[in-house]
Chains A and B, each alone.
Chain A
Amino acid sequence: MTARAARLFLALSAARLFVEPAAAGEVPLSERRSGYEFMSRETRAMQDDDTGNPGTLWVLDGEALWKRKAGASDRACSDCHGDARESMKAVAARYPAFDPALRRPVNLEQRINACRVGRQKAPALAYESRDLLALTAYVTRQSRGLPINITIDARTRPFLEAGREAFFRRQGQLNLACAQCHDDHWSGKLAGSPITQAHPTGYPLYRLEWQGLGSLERRLRGCLTGLRAESYPYGAPELVDLELYLMWRANGMRMETPAVRP
C-alpha cells in the first residue's frame, strides 16, 4: 500500500468509527439508560416486585381477556394463538411493525384491534380503555427481559425518517425539540425531576402521576402538551412514526413491561 492509500484507508476507517454508532441509534448502546435507572430506590423496588407492581393487575386482566371468547366469531385470542407465553414471546419487541394491508407501520394496540375487528368480529377497543391496556400489557409482558428488535427495510424506512424528523423538530409555543431534552439534556433536571433519555422500554406502564396504566402514546401526548404544541389523536400516523423511531432508537435495550414511573 502506498503512503497515500494508507492515509486514505486510515481516514476512511476513522470516519466509519464516528458514523457507525450514530447509525445504530443516536445514543450509543453503552450509554443508553432506561427511565428505570433514573428512579428512586422505592419506585424501582415497586417495579421489580410483581406482587407490589400495580401493573400486574392489568397483566392478569389481560390474561383473562386473552382466553375469553368475544364477538360474532365467538372465538378467543387463545383459540387462534394458543398459549401467549409461547406464541407472543418477543412479539411486542418488534412493534410498531409493517401492516401490508395499511401499507404502513401499526403499533401493538392497532394490531390487537385489527384481530378484534377482523377475526373476532367484535367492536374495536377504545384507546386507553382498561381492556386494550390489559391485552397490550399481557402481550408485551411476554417480551419482558428480551431486547427491542426493530428491523427497518425499504417499506418502513420512510416512516422511521418521519419519526426521526419529528423528534428533532422544534415545536410548540416553547419551541423545543424532543431531542433537545432527551438527547442533549437527559442528565439534567426539569423542575427537580430527571428528564431521562425517553426510551420506550416499559410501556404500557404504571405512572404514579396517572394513578394508572398508560400507553406510550399517552406519554408522547403529555410531552407535546408540555411544549404547548398541537397534539395528535391516539393512533395518528404521526404518533406511530414517533413510536417506531423511539423503539428503533432503543434497539437492543431490554423490555420491562409493565414498568413503573414517577
Chain B
Amino acid sequence: MNWREACAIAFSILVGNAFAGDSIPASLTGAKGDPARGRAIVANRQVGLCLLCHSGPFPEERFQGGLAPDLRSAARLSEGQIRQRIVDSTKLNPQSIMPAYYRSEGLERVAPAYRGKTILSAEQIEDVVAYLTTLK
C-alpha cells in the first residue's frame, strides 16, 4: 500500500463513520474514475467477480449471477452510497455475502497470493463507482 492509499483508507474510515456506514462521499483516490474501465472490471470474472452474484446490462455475458439485485438497482443510490457498498457492504448488513472489496484486515485463512491485499485497488473501485453511476 502506498501513502496515498493509506491516507484514502484512513479518510474513508473517518468519513464512513461520520455517515454511520451508509455512504463514503469522497473519492478514494481524490480523482474521478473511468466508467469504461469500470465496466470492464465489473464484467471480468477474475477481477470484479460481480457477475458471479449480480446480473446487469451485459448482453454479451451469457452466465450471470442470481444471488443479488440486478446492478441497475444502483440507480437509486448516491455515488457515496455505491462506494460504501463496494468498499465494505458488511457495514450496512453484517450478514452480507458481498465481499468487501477494499478490506485486507480481519480476514481468516486468506491464500498466500492474496494475503494483505484488497480485492480491488482504490483506482479500480473508483472506476467501478464511475461505471455504476452511469446506470441511472
Contact = CB atoms under 8 A, between A and B. Distances in A.
Contacts of A191: 45, 51-52, 63-65
B111 A188 contact: no
A115 B62 CA distance: 49
A173 B119 contact: yes
B52 A170 contact: no
Given A180-B97, A185-B97, A230 B66 contact: no
Contact of A190 (B52, B110, B111, B114): B52
A11 to B, nearest CB: 29
Nearest to A226: B52
B111 A173 contact: yes
Interface in A123-172: 169-172
- Main SS of chain B's interface residues? loop
A174 B99 contact: yes
A231 B64 contact: no
A173 B117 contact: yes
How many chain A residues sit at the interface, stated as a range, is 20 to 34
B67 A190 contact: yes
B97 A171 contact: no
A172 B62 contact: no
Contacts of A231: 111
A255 B108 CA distance: 33
B112 interface: yes
Contacts of B75: none
A119 B133 CA distance: 68
Counting chain B CB atoms within 10 Å of each CB, which of A175, A181, A225 scores highest? A175
B7 to A, nearest CB: 23
A192 B97 contact: no
Contact of A225 (B52, B97, B107, B111): B111
B109 interface: yes
A176 B113 CA distance: 17
Nearest to B117: A173
B26 interface: no
B66 A189 contact: yes
B63 A193 contact: yes
B1 to A, nearest CB: 15
Given A191-B45, A191-B51, A230-B111, A173 B99 contact: yes
Nearest to B52: A191
A27 interface: no
Contacts of A68: none
A172 B97 CA distance: 13
A44 B61 CA distance: 26
Interface in B55-95: 62-67, 90
Interface in B29-57: 45, 49, 51-53
Interface string A171-209: 111111000110011001111110000000000000000
B67 A189 contact: yes
Contacts of A172: 107-111, 114
List the 10 closest pairs (A to B, CB-CB), nearest first: A192-B63, A189-B66, A173-B114, A174-B99, A188-B67, A171-B109, A191-B52, A230-B109, A171-B108, A228-B114
Given A170-B107, A174-B49, A191-B63, 8 more contacts: A170-B108, A171-B109, A171-B110, A172-B114, A173-B117, A175-B107, A181-B97, A189-B66
14 contacts: A170-B107, A171-B108, A171-B109, A171-B110, A172-B110, A173-B114, A174-B99, A174-B119, A188-B65, A188-B66, A192-B63, A193-B63, A229-B108, A230-B110
Interface of A: 169-176, 180-181, 184-185, 188-193, 225, 228-231
